[in-house]
Structures are given as C-alpha cells and as structure tokens.
Amino acid sequence: MPALEHVQPLEHRSGRTNVPGAHGFLGRLRRRRAQREHEASVICFANALRGMFRDACAGIGLCQYVSVAAGITVRTPRVAEVRLGPPTSFTVELMAGQEPADFTSKDRGPRLAHTLGAHGLRVEPVAGRWVRIHLLDADPLRDGFGLPSLAVATGAESVILGRTEDATTLGHAIADPAHLGVQGQNGSGKSAFCYGLLAQLAAAPDVLVTGSDITGLLLGRAWDGTAHRAHQVVGTQDIAAHAVLLEDLVAEMDRRLETIPPRRDTIRPSPATPIVLVVLEEFPGLLRAADALPKPKRGEGIPVGDRIRTAVLRLLSEGRKAAFRVLMLAQRFEATAVGGGYARDQFALRLSFRVPADSLEMLHGADARPLGQEHANAAPGVAYLSGLGRDCERIRVPYLGEYGEYVDRVQRFGRRAES
Ligand SMILES: Nc1ncnc2c1ncn2[C@@H]1O[C@H](COP(=O)(O)OP(=O)(O)O)[C@@H](O)[C@H]1O
Ligand SMILES: [Mg+2]
C-alpha cells in the first residue's frame, strides 16, 4: 500500500501529535492492519448484500427456475460491483426478459427495498443489459421544497407541479387541455398546493383565475385589486351566488363554442379570450351546503345543488375546447360527492394527497392499490400524480410557506384590472 506513505497521518491533522505509536514502524503496521480489516469488511458486506439480493429476488419472483439433473435450481440476476456509498449501490445484469423497471414496479420495488433494509430503490441503466441499483436509505420526498417567487408570462408556459422521487421537476402548462382533480384528507396539503399553482398563474395576461371557494382562503380577499377577483365567489352566506357564477361561466363557454373560427376545433387562448381556470375549492362542501337549502316548490325553479352540478358537468365535458380548465378540490373523489362518475372521469390530471387506500384506488385505478397502505400516512405535501402520459408516481409539491406569503405573491404578481 505505498500510496498510504504519502498520506498525512490523521493524528497530525487533528493536532494530536503525541499519541504513542502513531509514527514509525508500529504506526505503519497499525494503519496497514486497519486498511486490511476495512477491505475485508467491505468484501464481507458485498457478499452479504449479494446473498440478500439473491434471496429477495427469489422471494418476489424476479428469478428463473432452471431444471438441472439434480432437480430445480433458482437463477437470479447477477450482482457485480458493490459500492459502499452512501447510498449503497450495486450493478446487476438483467436476465433474459427482464427490464430495469421490473425492480421498481409498484408490487416489487418496495418489497425488494425493504428486504435489503432500504427505504426505496433507484435503478439507473448503465450499459447493455446492466443496471445500477441505488439503495435509498431515506425517503427522497422527506424534505420540503420551496417555490421560487416566479410567475409564468403565459398559460402556455409550464408551472411547477412537484418533484419526483428521482428529483425530476414536473411541470404542466395550464394551456394543455386537462382538468385537474385534487383529493386529500383535511390537512394533507391540497390548498397549499393550489396556493403554489395559482400564485404562478396570477400574472399571465391570458389566464383568468375564477371559481367558487366556500372557505374564502384560496380565492377571495387574497385576490382583491386583481383582474381575477370579480370572477370569484366565496363564503357560504350566499350559496346561490356560486350557482350564478358557474352558470355565467357556462354561458361564456357556449358563446366561445359558437365563435370557434372555421377550420379550427379549439379556441386559441389570448388576453381577449383567456384560459378560464375554474377553481372549485372543497366542491363536495359546496354541494352539501347547496343541497341543504330549502327546495323550491314544484315549477318554481331548479334546486341550487342541481344547478351547480349541471353547470360543473358542462364545464367539465365541453370546456376544454373553449379554453376552460377545471381545478376541483375534494377530500375524497367519490362519484356522488363530485357530481357523478362521469364528471370524475373528465379529470386527465389527478393528484392524491394523504387519503385512505380505497380513495387512492378510486381516483388512480387498480394500479395504485399496492401504494395505498403507505400513502394513507403521507406527510402534508406528498402526493400521487397520474396523468401527463406518465405512470402514477409519487411527488412532493412545492410549498410557499406561510399563508401570508401566498397573499403577498398574488398581490405582487396578480394581473391588475384594466381601468
Ligand atoms: N407542501 C407542504 N410542505 C410542508 N407542509 C405543508 C405542505 N402543504 C401543507 N403543509 C402543511 O399542512 C397544513 C395543511 O395544509 P392545507 O393545504 O391547508 O391542507 P388541506 O387543504 O388539504 O386541508 C398547512 O398549514 C401546512 O402547515
Ligand atoms: Mg384546504
């Protein structure tokens, strides 16, 4: 180990020069022994990891059964180089028919990681049939991530939705024809996510932030003085006003649909015909409040709850072409709570903050079932996202911080009403 001779002894760096035996022949011997012991422990660790990986692969079915003279033997993917890390990683040769994603699939990934004593895995293709598997010892979404104080200049620009487990930042342009559905239990971070979303959109001249908010926090006072405020209805004092707003929006949608230019099938958003983002905060709560109102007598009008349901269903089913986008928030996207199964099917982009396992499956389909148990305890700001042409995946959404920061940003960026 000649290289060691050039390394300044540790004792010198820490200033402890009077340790007996640190120098000379004995010191060198000790250092060599320590080095050998270290190397032996690395080899021992690598072998143990290979054994665990083999057992884990056999346990979760990432293996092949080969018949040999003595019976059946199990073949598992070969592990080559092991790096101690942190994070610990190792290279694996895929067997015939295997794909890198097999190691991180929803049903296998967590079981493989837990068997290896890790929180999660990241698989990086190396070359040919080789991948490197990284063992993540902590939840990559554990730490929050702030949202830079930025606003997009047009709805065609992407706003930040969140960050994935492999640190990819996901964006979405509101001009893309997708309605957004957001569910999560109380306190799971739905509203805070929308603070980030709306603050990023507040300045764009071709976006109008409108909608209904019975809580009066997401919309309403924070938007005073902006061009958006006149198109927002808040609070529970006058539930019928929410129905009136939504019906006005439907009328505007119809007007736009009639004026789509020949040889086009959608409205092109512009400052004159902006993208209308219809925010429906705590929508099931609005329906409950509306349904609790006294019903009009027969022949004397339509119940407010039904008017709201009809308007929202029309915005959802026909609004995309007319540059209308719905952003609905609910604790649970149960069909009856959001205006029916057909209404629920219209959300191309779906986000679930902490919810019970059955709610997760309800919004993201049976593929999300294996994720349910863990997600039922998710921290605020951690969500599953499906849509954007990607598989259902776990993300952390950005966090503005205190509510006051949201108000400040809307006030700073919010497009002003033209006088
Ligand atoms: N992305 C996040 N990161 C960290 N903490 C968050 C995040 N989102 C929300 N929180 C915390 O959780 C609390 C509840 O969030 P909120 O958005 O009001 O939940 P919901 O609207 O789902 O009831 C917030 O006051 C905040 O303290
Ligand atoms: Mg909320």
In angstroms, the CA 77 to CA 115 distance is 16
Q: Is 355:376 a contact under the CB 8 Å cutoff?
A: yes
Q: How far apart are the first and last CA of the chain?
A: 80
Residue nearest to atom 9 of ligand 1 (CA): 189
Whether residues 322 and 400 share a domain: the answer is yes
Q: Is 371:358 a contact under the CB 8 Å cutoff?
A: no
User: Do strands 232-234 and 130-136 pair parallel, antiparallel, or not at all (unpaired)?
Assistant: unpaired
Q: Which residues line ligand 1 (CB under 6 A)?
A: 144, 184, 186-192, 353, 380-381, 397, 399
Residue 144 lies in a domain: no
Which among 106, 136, 166 is the end of a domain?
136
Q: Is 256:323 a contact under the CB 8 Å cutoff?
A: yes
Whether residues 103 and 189 share a domain: the answer is no
In angstroms, the CA 64 to CA 72 distance is 10
Residue range(s) defining the domain that contains residue 30:
3-17+24-136
Distance 154 CA to ligand 2 centre (A): 26
Whether residues 249 and 368 share a domain: the answer is yes
Of 143, 145, 183, 190, the residue with max ligand 1 atoms within 8 A of its CB, to mutate for a pocket test, comes to: 190
In tens digits, the chain (419 residues) has pLDDT values of: 344 334 333 433 444 445 555 678 888 999 999 999 988 988 999 999 999 999 999 999 999 998 888 888 899 999 999 998 778 899 999 999 999 989 988 889 889 999 998 888 889 888 889 999 999 877 878 888 888 888 999 999 999 999 988 778 999 999 999 999 999 999 999 999 999 999 999 999 999 999 999 999 999 999 999 999 999 999 999 999 999 999 999 999 999 999 998 899 999 999 999 999 999 999 999 999 999 999 999 888 999 999 999 999 999 999 999 999 999 999 999 999 999 999 999 999 999 999 999 999 999 998 888 888 889 999 999 999 999 777 788 999 999 999 999 999 999 999 998 75
How confident is the model over 378-394, as pLDDT tens digits? Answer: 999 999 999 977 778 89
Residue 152 burial (CB < 10 Å; 0-12/13-18/19+)?
buried
Cα separations (Å) of 250 from 40, 59, 211?
73, 56, 12
Q: How many CB atoms lie within 10 A of CB 150?
A: 14
Which sign, positive or negative, has the C-alpha torsion 353, 359, 362, 368?
A: positive
Residue 143 lies in a domain: no
Which sign, positive or negative, has the C-alpha torsion 307, 313, 318, 323?
A: positive
Whether residues 120 and 182 share a domain: the answer is no
Relative to the alpha carbon of 399, which ligand is closest?
1
Of 188, 197, 396, 402, the residue with max ligand 1 atoms within 8 A of its CB, to mutate for a pocket test, comes to: 188
Q: Return the CATH number at 188.
A: 3.40.50.300
Model pLDDT, residue 20: 56
Distance 208 CA to ligand 2 centre (A): 21
Whether residues 310 and 186 share a domain: the answer is yes
Residue 389 lies in a domain: yes
Which tokens hold the place of 156?
A: 């065609």
Model pLDDT, residue 22: 63
Model pLDDT, residue 289: 98
Peptide bond before 87: cis, by omega within 30 degrees of 0?
A: yes
Which tokens hold the place of 150?
A: 């930025």
Model pLDDT, residue 205: 97
Which tokens hold the place of 3?
A: 């290289």
Whether residues 240 and 319 share a domain: the answer is yes
Q: How many separate domains does the chain show?
A: 2
Residue nearest to atom 13 of ligand 1 (CA): 187
Model pLDDT, residue 329: 98
Residue 254 lies in a domain: yes
- Ligand 1 atom index nearest CA of 381: 1
Q: Is 359:376 a contact under the CB 8 Å cutoff?
A: no
Q: Return the CATH number at 103.
A: 3.30.980.40
Q: Which of 37, 117, 127 is nearest to 81 (CA)?
A: 127
Contacts of 145 (CB under 8 A, 6+ apart): 163, 396, 398, 399
Whether residues 97 and 168 share a domain: the answer is no
- Ligand 1 atom index nearest CA of 184: 22
Whether residues 235 and 338 share a domain: the answer is yes
